[in-house]
Chain A
Amino acid sequence: MKLEDFNIELKPLPGAMPVWRGRADAGQWRAVCQQVRDDGGRLVALWGSDGSDRGEGYAVHAALAVPSGLIVATLPLAGESFPDVSDIFSCANRMQRAVCDLFGVRAEGAADQRKWLRHAAWPADVFPLRKDFKDDSDLRVQSSSNHEIRTTINQRRTTINERRAAIDDPRITNHDPRPVDDYPFVQVGGEGVHEIPVGPVHAGTIEPGHFRFSIVGEGVLRLEERLGYKHKGIEKRFEQMTLVEGARLAGRVSGDSTVAYAWAYAMAVEAVTGITPPPRALWLRALLLERERVGQHLWDLGFLGNDAGFGFGLAQFSRLREDSLRTSNALFGHRYLMDTIVPGGVARDIDSDGIAGIRREIDAVGTTVSTLREIYVNHAGLQDRFVDCGRIRQDQAARLGLTGLAGRASGIGSDLRVQIPPAPYDRLGVNLVVRTGGDVAARATVRVDEIVESLRLIGAILDGLPGGDIAISVPVAPENAFGIGWVEGWRGEVLIALETGANNRIRRLHPHDPSWQNWPLLERAVLGNIVPDFPLINKSFNLSYSGQDL
């Protein structure tokens, strides 16, 4: 499809990625989404904004990926509703509900109108991302001393004990006097069906979220996720920051993808200020992004072994990972490379010793990973757990919009580094890794193959690393500028949509994690599996809670 075929006027935006922006009316909004969908494109993100402080109303925005780049459609709203597109892109469901929780603008006609990010922290008629929202003391907790906390805890314990004593009383359904999140889960009826509620505090060291299983015996009939526990007001926090300060926060939207977010943020800032970082900085960014990918994949492969009872796998993969973290710390000053990518370039350079050290490391990792791959493949017990477990078929993945690494394990061959490569990937030539199995085994194999490819890329980056500066200074951004950052992180595509305010401040920023798209597919993947396989399936997706809860 050509850009002229769209019924809205699209203008190219400056920046490292090919992005066009256009204004749509309510009818065009759905038509554009449908056109992109029919052409095999995808919804990357959907978010809201409030223009009331400058005499405008609310607006919703959709970032739509097409073969030649990204289309950002903006629908200015006269009232407090917009046309639903969740029938076109099913992943829009939760994004639209989040827009409603945060702005009070509703997707008209959407089948699912339940709250999503809001639990009990703020009332249903308060909308934190509206410009007139006052973050006042009613909603804040006052800092209190340990002594005061202990006193209130003792009082609460007395209350709880009294309630426990009266637990036979059928009127008592909630043993805690504080407000709770009364979320209307879909209930499954029928003889022998029962529910297992899991979380938000899980059994392992992972992020909090709630999973509601409806089961018969051990078989899963339905899984429903309840996320939003980690909502800590990231988008509002951005609006209190300058473009300089925002870089640090962007790197902490989802700590495991700090490089991808930092790069996307830098890309957006560079787009609105009209600068291009020096070539060496871009090559070093790619080096950092591939190191993050290798590190996370090593980690996940270890845990996949561990969750299937093969502790040896975790010990081996996690020592490789630790070696790599230590190298990162020695070369770039941070084990996870936080704050290494900054708007304008990168914060640290490497010298010839550093390059030699990375070369030694990629050789060592490459050799051990190939041995471990053979051990995993030939381990009957492991393959018994991996194969056919948590399957998303290719047609489901295409219909429901599975993306990123999990998508590539279900035959969806999408990777920004391959299809719309920003510099220096256009020079490197990334080989697409894709599998069609769609099960835990396929997601493990994609990780192994991507490690091998990333190690090759790291070698190529070190070979071709241009000389010169590693950063340029960033000028003050004009007011009301709009910029996009779009980066293929290890989990999938990370998007930053940035709108500037006066005095180099952030007026609105939406960070988008690919987990938004993939969480609903996890609900599908576990159907027909047994409850004890859930941890393995969940780990094979390894989605971000923090990145989607914001």
Chain B
Amino acid sequence: MYQTLKLILTTGIKTEAPPQADDSLRVARERLQSKILQYFAGALTIRHVDAGSCNGCELEINALGNPYYNLEGLGIKFVASPRHADMLLVTGPVSRHMEVALKRTYDATPEPKLVVALGDCGCTGGIFGESYASCGRVSNVIPVDVAVPGCPPTPFAIMQGILTAISTRKG
């Protein structure tokens, strides 16, 4: 126990400042009223759906939980069921084998809801494209509010995408 406490104290607080929202990441006009978004901004719950990624984006989503980014410190947390979620964070080109599961997850998420598509594949289909096995980008399958490019996008960029989705447009 002594060692554990000592390591906690010597490590100190690593958390860095979060990014600002970026309107250029928006795919669609804000679908939700600013009043609702303000509620989300205080306590947002996210359900992640891997719809066919290479697992690269998942590494960076998981990195959001490390002490440097400390996503939960912003009142944003990942939940185990779409029933508990305000936002879907979707990675990958959508494989045709995941198409039904993704649509069902979308249906299971209560309104009002937001969708953030993650990574080059989520934005455009990426290197996998559209084929007999791949539906391509996420917005080919469910409506998308914000799309974050990158292969994979950095945790900072993912945070920015999430914060953009729950912010109202500037100007």
Given contacts A237-B128, A545-B55, contact A143 B140 (CB under 8 A): yes
Cβ-defined contact, B97 with A146, below 8 A: no
Cβ-defined contact, A319 with B55, below 8 A: no
Interface 9-mer from A18-26, A205-213, A446-454: A205-213
Cβ-defined contact, B50 with A208, below 8 A: yes
Residues of A within 8 A of B78 (CB): 204-205
Q: Which of B147-162 contact A (CB under 8 A)?
A: 151-152, 154
* Residue B142, interface by CB 8 Å: yes
- Produce 1/0 per residue, A147-191, CB < 8 A to B: 001100100110010000000000000001010110000000000
* Residue A536, interface by CB 8 Å: no
Query: In the complex, A144→B67 CA distance in Å?
Result: 40
Distance from A97 Cβ to chain B, minimum over Cβ atoms (Å):
15
Q: Which of B53-93 contact A (CB under 8 A)?
A: 53-63, 65-68, 78, 80-82, 92-93
Cβ-defined contact, A336 with B106, below 8 A: no
Cβ-defined contact, B152 with A336, below 8 A: yes
Residues of B within 8 A of A229 (CB): 52, 95, 97-98, 101
Residues of A within 8 A of B7 (CB): 316, 368, 371-372, 375
Query: In the complex, A314→B131 CA distance in Å?
Result: 38
Query: In the complex, A233→B93 CA distance in Å?
Result: 11
A-B contacts counted at CB < 8 A amount to 195
Query: In the complex, A314→B66 CA distance in Å?
Result: 8
* Residue B114, interface by CB 8 Å: no
* Residue B43, interface by CB 8 Å: no
Residues of B within 8 A of A372 (CB): 7
Query: In the complex, A119→B93 CA distance in Å?
Result: 17
Q: Which residue of B lies closest to A302 (CB)?
A: B66
Q: Which residue of A lies closest to B78 (CB)?
A: A205
Given contacts A149-B143, A318-B66, contact A207 B50 (CB under 8 A): yes
Query: In the complex, A121→B134 CA distance in Å?
Result: 9
Using a Cβ–Cβ cut-off of 8 Å, how many residues does chain B contribute to the interface with A?
66
Residues of A within 8 A of B3 (CB): 371, 374-375
Residues of B within 8 A of A140 (CB): 130-132
Cβ-defined contact, B101 with A255, below 8 A: no
Query: In the complex, A263→B25 CA distance in Å?
Result: 34
Q: Which of B113-166 contact A (CB under 8 A)?
A: 127-137, 139-144, 151-152, 154
Residues of B within 8 A of A205 (CB): 48, 50, 58, 61-62, 78
- Produce 1/0 per residue, B1-39, CB < 8 A to A: 001100110010010000000000001100000000000
Residues of A within 8 A of B130 (CB): 140-141, 143
Query: In the complex, A326→B125 CA distance in Å?
Result: 27
- Produce 1/0 per residue, B37-52, CB < 8 A to A: 0000000000011111
* 25 A-B contact pairs sorted by A residue (CB < 8 Å): A120-B96, A122-B96, A128-B133, A139-B131, A139-B132, A140-B130, A143-B136, A149-B142, A150-B143, A153-B103, A157-B107, A201-B105, A203-B80, A204-B80, A205-B48, A205-B61, A206-B58, A208-B52, A230-B97, A231-B97, A233-B133, A312-B4, A322-B67, A371-B7, A549-B95
Q: Which 6 pairs between the two chains have the least Cβ-Cβ distance?
A: A255-B56, A233-B133, A121-B96, A203-B80, A318-B66, A255-B54
Binding site for A on B (CB under 8 A): 3-4, 7-8, 11, 14, 27-28, 48-63, 65-68, 78, 80-82, 92-93, 95-101, 103-107, 127-137, 139-144, 151-152, 154
Given A204-B80, A232-B134, A322-B66, 12 more A-B residue pairs with CB atoms under 8 Å apart are: A119-B97, A128-B132, A139-B131, A143-B140, A156-B107, A201-B82, A232-B52, A232-B93, A232-B131, A233-B134, A336-B59, A546-B55
Binding site for B on A (CB under 8 A): 119-122, 128, 133, 135, 139-141, 143-144, 146, 149-150, 153, 156-157, 160, 176, 178, 180-181, 200-201, 203-208, 228-234, 236-237, 248-249, 252-256, 258, 299, 312, 314-316, 318-319, 321-322, 325, 335-336, 338, 368, 371-372, 374-375, 544-546, 549
